[in-house]
Structure 1
Amino acid sequence: MQSTITMSQKWKQLLYILLPILITQLALSAMTFFDTNMSGHFSPADLAGVAIGVSLWIPVQTGLNGILMAITPIVSQLVGAQRKDKVSYYVIQALWLSLALSMIVLIAGIFLVNPILNGMKLEPRVHNVALYYLCAMAFGVIPLFAYTVLRSFMDALGQTRFTMAITLMSLPINILLNYLLIYGNWGFPRLGGVGSGVATAATYWIIMLVAGITAHRGKNFAEYRIFRKIYGIAASAWKELIHIGVPIGFAIFFETAIFSAVTLLMSNYNTSTIAAHQAAMNFASTLYMLPLSICMALTILVGYETGANRPRDARTYSILGISTAVVLSLITAIVLLIWGEQVARLYSTDPQVIQLTQHFLIYAIFFQISDAIATPTQGALRGYKDVNPAFLLTFLSYWVIGLPVGYMLARWTSWGPYGYWIGLITGLAVGAVLLLWRLMLVQRRFTAKKQHAEAV
């Protein structure tokens, strides 16, 4: 990365960082997309089972990944402040932390997965698919979390095209393994939805190994020599990582978990409704990669500018990122309005599932717009290392407002399952307003701090 002066230079730098991140996120999301899509073409029960499994796994994955993403603002600010010698130390500490988190997840899964699934009113086939899908995914936990650290390190340096290449390479591998293991082609076992879990876990190992080799030997990363010394676990570094990462992780967890909670509440409806809801949610999650990618780019760019003590440039990047996300959300809204039925047909051939999916996609339009404001705003706040208020605001918006509103509308009005989606829209809209207010407050404080320092 480099300092920029003109608006055109900032646009160029933003796009240089953003586009590879976007492609990477779309490719990662595509793994879940193809898991869901290909399972849906196996049977509606397999689609519903994978939907339940994904809904339990995604909040855990994204929340803990959020903790590990603390390495991004740490590295970007170190680079901006010309303290590159500290980078390898923090990356190794984050890798140790990723291993510890993996162990916690695996141990918790042994004791919690079965009781949770048994407490849900699922058809036997749906229950079994969900259970064994999660068992298969467990084998990919360690490499996934390690890859998150390595990817965050490379992205923080502005080298986002490397993680893009790694992820793009892994996508066809994942699709091929799905093809072999879901449908039992070429003599492989016919595992249905469970096969998608096996395929994804295997793919995680591949991307971790490739990322490790790239970070160790790639010429763009050689000066950091992150594996030159394997540091022991340091409590002070873990404390800093956790101090920044836990609020990020909880903020992401609260945002993703509310969608999973809605899916789990949908288990009270029939299999077609569960399948349609998950199909619509899966496509909406794919579109969410747009604001999420901008969020990650802003963390890098704002962190770099704040590390270099340039508040005006950090503010400009925030405005560029958020405005870009809003424009893109309006474009995706048009896509859903015009081609909603075609999107629904991507997930199922069942007429009832297609019709229900199309209805759910209409509601998805509205929370896409709120996401376009809230998500990039969180990215900018992370660049400032202002993470605790965002965590509290997301909890308030999604869990104190959004989910209760959705539950009441679903239970006590004629909207039924659509009531949950209205609740999601309400919570996301409130969150967008509150987070934007917080960002403006932080920017004013940061600017005032610099002006005060210059006056002294």
Structure 2
Amino acid sequence: MRKTETMKQKLRQLFVILIPILITQLAMYSMNFFDTMMSGNYARADLAGVAIGSSLWVPVSTGLAGILIALTPITAHLIGAKKKDEVPFSVIQGIYVAITMAIIVMAAGKLLLNTILNHMNLEHHVELVAKHYLYFLAIGIIPLFIYNVLRSFIDSLGMTRISMVITLSSLPVNVFLNYIFIFGHLGCPAFGGAGSGLATAITYWLITIFAAVVIHFRHPFSAYRIFTKWTAPSYTKWKEIFSLGIPMGLSIFFETSIFSAVTLLMSSFGTVVIAAHQAAMNFASFLYMLPLSMSMAMTIVVGFETGASRFKDAKDYSKIGIAFALLLSAFAGFMLFLFRIQVAGMYSTDHQVIKLTARFLLFAVFFQLSDAIQAPVQGALRGYKDVNVTFLMALISYWAIGLPLGCLLANETSLGAYGYWIGLITGLAAGAITLSSRLYIIQNRTLQKSI
């Protein structure tokens, strides 16, 4: 990361950071993409089981990962303010936080999972797949959370290409392990959809070990000597991480959990609808990696500039990021509209599932523009360390507007399952409007203080 003077330099630096993040996010989500696609090609009941399991897991994992992502603006500010000696302490404390949260999640899952699944109207095989998928996935929770901390440190230095290489190298391994555990090869039994959870858990261990080795031995990370001095847990640093991270995590949780809540509510429509909804949502989430990557890049560059008190530069980066995210998402939405039937065919050979998935994907087209605004805006706000009001806006937009409207349309009109998707689109649009207003206020406030 370096200071930039012109818009051309800013654009160049943003792309140097963004492109590896985008490839990394696409590769990370490709694990879930291949889990879903390969499970669907095993059996539609297995696709539905993975849908239920991932709907319980994704909001928890992304929400808690959002807490750990607080390390990105924390270390970016320290680097921007030339306080590099404080970075290793922050990273080690982040690892302690990650391990603690992972243990709590596993304990809670052990206590609550059976009760939650028993209260859902699921076919017996679908419930078994969901349960064993989550049991297998639990093997990789601790390394996954630690990896989020290590990646936050790597990205805060602007070295996002390293995260890209680590994640890309693990993707073919994940696909190969899916092939073994889902379909039963090389002497392993066929676990069906549940086997994708085991494949993903092993992959999480591999990328965490790889990241730790890179940080310990490769310059410039090795200069920070992260693993050479393990300090005792610090209440003060944990408080800083949680005070910044909890609103960030809750904001992400409220956004991702509404999608999971809709999937769980879809269980009343039967296995075919669950499978088609999950396939469409999985691909829509894959496309969401475009604005999400811009969001993460915004956190890095805006955090770096605000840490150095260059508030006009931070504002310029925000404008570039939002404009480019809109352009990318509009193109992605157009391509999805054209090829929705072909996309649906990747997830299943069942004619009913393909037909219904293609219909759901029409609604997914409208996700793109709202996501293109609200995601980079959230990333910029995190760069300013403005997270509390953002969290409240997300709560209201998704849970007070989007989900109630979806329930009303799904249960009180002839729209049925499609009503939930209309509710989701409305909630995302409300979030885009309110968050943009907040960013405008924060940018003007910081600029006035700097005068």
Q: TM-score, normalised by structure 2?
A: 1.00
Displacement of 1:26 in angstroms is 0.3
Give the match for residue 316 of structure 1. 316
Matched, 1:207 2:207: yes
Give the match for residue 272 of structure 1. 272
Deviations 1:208-253 (A, max 9, x none): 0010111111112122111121011000000000000000000000
Deviations 1:37-74 (A, max 9, x none): 00000000000000000000000000000000000000
Displacement of 1:367 in angstroms is 1.6
Give the match for residue 395 of structure 1. 395
**Pairing of 1:323-402 with structure 2 (within 5 A):** 323-402=323-402
**CA-atom RMSD, angstroms?**
0.5
Give the match for residue 58 of structure 1. 58
CA distance in 2, matches of 1:302, 1:171: 30
Name the amino acid aligned to 1:401: I
Give the match for residue 283 of structure 2. 283
Of stretches 56-65 and 328-337 in structure 1, the one that deviates more from structure 2 is: 328-337
Deviations 1:369-415 (A, max 9, x none): 10110011000000000000110000000000000000000000000
CA distance in 2, matches of 1:320, 1:105: 38
Gaps spanning 5+ residues in structure 2: where?
none
CA distance in 2, matches of 1:83, 1:240: 16
Deviations 1:157-203 (A, max 9, x none): 00001110000010000000000010002221110001100000000
Give the match for residue 116 of structure 1. 116
CA distance in 1, matches of 2:112, 2:377: 34
Of stretches 189-198 and 217-226 in structure 1, the one that deviates more from structure 2 is: 217-226
Give the match for residue 196 of structure 2. 196
Give the match for residue 249 of structure 2. 249
Give the match for residue 145 of structure 2. 145
Give the match for residue 26 of structure 1. 26
**Pairing of 1:29-178 with structure 2 (within 5 A):** 29-178=29-178
CA distance in 2, matches of 1:223, 1:138: 34
Displacement of 1:279 in angstroms is 0.2
Runs of 4+ more than 4 Å apart = none
Identity over aligned pairs, percent: 57
Q: TM-score, normalised by structure 1?
A: 0.98
SS of 1:349 mapped into structure 2: coil
CA distance in 1, matches of 2:111, 2:359: 37
CA distance in 2, matches of 1:124, 1:172: 32
CA distance in 2, matches of 1:43, 1:367: 28
Deviations 1:347-383 (A, max 9, x none): 0111110010000000011122101100110000000
CA distance in 2, matches of 1:366, 1:267: 24
Give the match for residue 414 of structure 2. 414
CA distance in 2, matches of 1:217, 1:76: 21
CA distance in 2, matches of 1:55, 1:403: 15
Matched, 1:294 2:290: no
Name the amino acid aligned to 1:300: I
SS of 2:339 mapped into structure 1: helix
CA distance in 2, matches of 1:231, 1:376: 35
Displacement of 1:336 in angstroms is 1.2
Displacement of 1:9 in angstroms is 0.6
